[in-house]
Amino acid sequence: MNPPPPSLWWSDIATSTPRPALRGDLDVDVAIVGGGYTGLWTARALLRGDPRLRVAIVESRVCGFGASGRNGGWVSSIFPASADAVIARVGLETYTRQRLLLQDAVVALGDAARDENIECSYVRGGTVSFARSVPQEARARAYVDAAAAHGVAPADLRWLSADEVRELAWVAGARGAAYTPHCARIHPARLVRGLADAVERRGAVIYEGTAATRIVAATPTRRARVLTTHGEVRADYVVRATEGFTPSLARQRRRVVPLYSLMIATPPLSDAWWSEYGFATAPTFNDERHLLVYGQRTADNRLAFGGRGSPYHFGSTVEPRYDHDDAVFAQLTSSLRELFPTLDAEVTHRWGGPLAMPRDKFPSVVVDHERGLASAGGYTGDGVTMSFVAGQALADLIIAPDESTPYSSLPFVNAPTRRWEVEPLRWLGINTGIALATYADHHERRHGTQSRASTWLDRLMDA
């Protein structure tokens, strides 16, 4: 069995002995493929709704091996698709209902962790999106203004002046920032491992080291099945919760693309050092560059910092060697020192892993009652809160399929999805987008003006 990846988060917890693998065939009410946030939140919601259910989770490595145990630790209300895209598809009223539910879910997730006695360093300090150049400020202000036009109150998102930024958190060159209170910092591996223990206490059975090779739909004479390397699991419902590893399953290669996001971390930094930059209330942070970066001040005073930039690998390939990219790690280190010029500590941890991006950036939650199949995912890196919401929606649809709940009636639930193009088109398109974002950021740093690459990037993203 593969060990957990060597991230800051995994190095900071005592890894328990892996749970036993499945031994032979099994009959349950609900089988869940994937022991990350989506699978575990779904199991918890199912057993809270009906404690009599027999729920089994099969996980190919250990719970939290994937993005759930490696991510940046943002419990954010961000929806992966833009507000304009959501409003164009479902209208302003439905968009607003979704936005408010996601904001509430940031708090609800923290409450759920506390109720399960999971200590995961949850602190709701919001998010600061710094603007460090004229083009970045223009984008940030336009984003805040557009949100206001959509009915978002200043209490939920507002512009901070340079002076206000210095009172909260500061990075070099900050001209101001967009700020939302609707985000919390967590230790992601502590959350996922604590959640696995919690669902076991509620009655779920977890089989680690048990790779699913195929999911088979139900027929009029046969229940849905999960075929694994250790036996067959039969169930009324099989839930696929495999996120960035989805393309490794049969017939799923074009469902989502696995994009790699990499992270670095520093050693604990002194209180004197932090006094220069703030972050006393632990807001998460990024800036308005095109190629996404994200960070947090950890509970033990480290900087944990990540970003995109790794190439998409032909054929939606996922391999452990892609978790490390020296060029991306070097760029992240350079960016971190640019943001925090007095940082003189060496990077102590480097890691990465795949996330799942759908063609239109809309996550999906699907339950097919006739075929006994269900799935959720496609969070494009915003999965900590989205997985909590998706798990609630899946449970509602399975337990009470004829009832409409705030979760099961969300606009991305049982909605049509678009598959990715065949190769080499998606390889060309995705890597062209990464190159355009990299060039646009380079141009802005060098010239202080927006480049044409920004316009081309926007067109490509909207295609």
| Count of other CB atoms within 10 angstroms of residue 88 | 11
Q: How far is CA 387 from CA 38, 64, 354, 391, in A?
A: 5, 13, 16, 6
Q: Of 356, 381, 380, 360, nearest to 462 (Cα)?
A: 360
Q: What is the mean pLDDT of residues 216-239?
A: 97
Amino acid at residue number 134:
V
Q: Of 78, 63, 55, 32, nearest to 389 (Cα)?
A: 78
Q: Residue 3's pLDDT is what?
A: 60
Q: Residue 2's pLDDT is what?
A: 57
Residue ranges of the chain that CATH labels 3.30.9.10: 127-180+257-357
Tell the residue number behind the tokens 């250990």, with chain if given. Answer: 62
Predicted confidence (pLDDT) at residue 33 exceeds the cutoff of 80: yes
Put the strands of the sheet holding 257-265 in their side by side order: 158-161, 176-180, 127-131, 284-287, 293-297, 303-307, 257-265, 349-357
Predicted confidence (pLDDT) at residue 77 exceeds the cutoff of 60: yes
Q: Which CATH superfamily is domain 127-180+257-357 in?
A: D-Amino Acid Oxidase, subunit A, domain 2 (3.30.9.10)
Q: How far is CA 138 from CA 130, 142, 180, 335, in A?
A: 12, 6, 18, 21
- Architecture in CATH of 1-121+185-256+360-420: 3-Layer(bba) Sandwich (3.50)
Predicted confidence (pLDDT) at residue 6 exceeds the cutoff of 90: no
User: Sign of the CA dihedral 37, 326, 276, 174?
Assistant: negative
Q: Of 66, 444, 405, nearest to 247 (Cα)?
A: 66
Paired residues of 350 in beta bridges = 264
d(Cα 166, Cα 143) in Å, to the nearest integer? 21
Paired residues of 257 in beta bridges = 357
Amino acid at residue number 4:
P
Residue ranges of the chain that CATH labels 3.50.50.60: 1-121+185-256+360-420
Cβ–Cβ < 8 Å for 67, 191: no
Q: What is the mean pLDDT of residues 173-199?
A: 98
Tell the residue number behind the tokens 């193009």, with chain if given. Answer: 421
Which two structure tokens, joined as six digits, stand for 373?
């199949």
Predicted confidence (pLDDT) at residue 462 exceeds the cutoff of 80: no
Whole-structure pTM value: 0.97
Q: Of 220, 236, 242, 194, nearest to 378 (Cα)?
A: 242
d(Cα 307, Cα 261) in Å, to the nearest integer? 6
pLDDT digit string (tens) for 404-451?
999 999 999 999 889 999 999 999 999 999 999 999 999 999 999 988
Q: Residue 4's pLDDT is what?
A: 63
